[in-house]
Structure 1
């Protein structure tokens, strides 16, 4: 019997990277998990892998930016899970561009997936949580909600909005027994990071990842499983007095000014 036994969890972007790591750990700790994502083949492969580990999971294809698909996916999730006790909003995209270079259609797409998608999943999961007067919403934001690299205007804006949305959820639904928190990963060895490394230096991805790791006080990039540990904690009753908070999983990146004094 794990600490999440009897809990039903929905994880968006659950087919790979951080989302898959969160789904796996929640399920290993006793929860049942619905994997949501746009790529049906990726989701089915992830679900099949988790089932070989004896875990109770289902794959449900849905674009989090399209409300009809989200509404249907939440009903399907609730039917499989029995209840929606945990919602992990992980689905995200990160195209590069400045406010000057990025067109409005691409800007709207980023906000639509990352921020509007989070709103839509919360909007359609909350009725299930409100009926039970309990729930934990965990929004996977980013350290780029707090400080920016160059050419990520839309992504950073969407993640900053997620932090504000998290606070609103905590304030509005705390009296109903529903907690909402955000997790802000730093540089994590996940598909999005590897895509960025390949774009920065094709054929030199591993070298680039090692270089990026040196920017963290811990001297390396993180693993999806390390983010999942924080998510699983927030999903559990051990985090019963945690809501409206931001939890950094960044190897100390945001604690450092990045300026070294001479010896």
Structure 2
């Protein structure tokens, strides 16, 4: 497919999970992709075909400015930003420390803000740039014990709307995808945390979580990446300011079940 031929994309959080899947899909459809993330030298996974990798801390403004400069120096333009970097920490409001709160908000919100802030001049220059933030259904509903995470995703959706309105005249669109449970390393780590820690019990818990979705399973990262690619591309040219659930019907389902 050649949907993104001639376009350049930057994907933060691009070394694993949804970000890695998004980088892969964009590259396979013709984009030149720079996937940014953190990891010790030699520890990053093999890059999919057509994907370059760069080390960058999304919470560091100097690093994010430098990252965008590197993309422009190498490729001369930037058409798409996918901000996928995110972390999850557990605890209700009283259990969450100020340091833990800052850690989650720094990565999930500040990191997305800094990526957009430094990418926007280049995106404006194309006249049709696109930003896709990776948010969560927990911007709308919440589990127990995820105070910082759910607050960060609500803020991310608000940032999406703000950029969409502010940048409409420049031709830059901003949207968010809001996945439910996705089979990523982050979800598997959570499953190990709340089971006996073995791979088998974690897999069983992931399967159990999947049954809470009307489609009966958790998502694959590539399924979320397909939604990201749609919003990033010309097929979505009149869509901006949207928070798109990719949730297997989770938000559509009422909690009350009528007995059979």
Quickly name the TM-score band, shorter chain normalised.
Answer: over 0.9
Q: Corresponding residue for 2:245?
A: 248
Give the Å deviation of 1:169: 0.6
Answer yes or no: is the 8 Å Cα contact 1:40–1:60 preserved in 2: no
Give the Å deviation of 1:259: 2.1
- Render the CA deviation track for 1:188-210: whole Å, top value 9, x for unaligned: 00011111100010220111011
Partners of 1:81 and 1:236 in 2: CA distance = 19
Q: Which runs of 5+ in 1 are unaligned?
A: none
Q: Corresponding residue for 1:157?
A: 151
Q: Which runs of 5+ in 2 are unaligned?
A: none
1:83 is aligned to 2:83: no
- SS state of the match for residue 182, structure 2? coil
- Render the CA deviation track for 1:164-185: whole Å, top value 9, x for unaligned: 0000110000111100001000
Give the Å deviation of 1:59: 0.9
Partners of 1:69 and 1:162 in 2: CA distance = 21
Give the Å deviation of 1:42: 7.0
Partners of 1:4 and 1:42 in 2: CA distance = 29
> TM-score with structure 2 length normalisation?
0.96
Give the Å deviation of 1:41: 4.2
- SS state of the match for residue 59, structure 1? strand
> TM-score with structure 1 length normalisation?
0.95
Aligned with residue 212 of structure 2, among 211, 215, 223: 215
Q: Corresponding residue for 1:8?
A: 8
- SS state of the match for residue 35, structure 2? strand
Give the Å deviation of 1:98: 1.5
- Render the CA deviation track for 1:20-48: whole Å, top value 9, x for unaligned: 1000000000001001111154774332x
Partners of 2:229 and 2:66 in 1: CA distance = 25
Q: Corresponding residue for 1:194?
A: 188
Q: Corresponding residue for 1:31?
A: 31
Partners of 1:175 and 1:43 in 2: CA distance = 42
- SS state of the match for residue 182, structure 1? strand
Report 1:64-213 matches (<5 A). 64-201=58-195, 202-203=197-198, 204-213=201-210
* Inter-CA distance 225–250: structure 2 relative to 1 (3 Å threshold): same
- Render the CA deviation track for 1:113-166: whole Å, top value 9, x for unaligned: 100111100000001112222200000000011100011111111110010000
Answer yes or no: is the 8 Å Cα contact 1:141–1:159 preserved in 2: yes
Answer yes or no: is the 8 Å Cα contact 1:166–1:181 preserved in 2: yes
Partners of 1:254 and 1:41 in 2: CA distance = 40
Give the Å deviation of 1:99: 1.4
Give the Å deviation of 1:107: 0.7
Partners of 2:50 and 2:184 in 1: CA distance = 24
Partners of 1:228 and 1:20 in 2: CA distance = 9
Partners of 1:220 and 1:182 in 2: CA distance = 22
- SS state of the match for residue 127, structure 1? helix
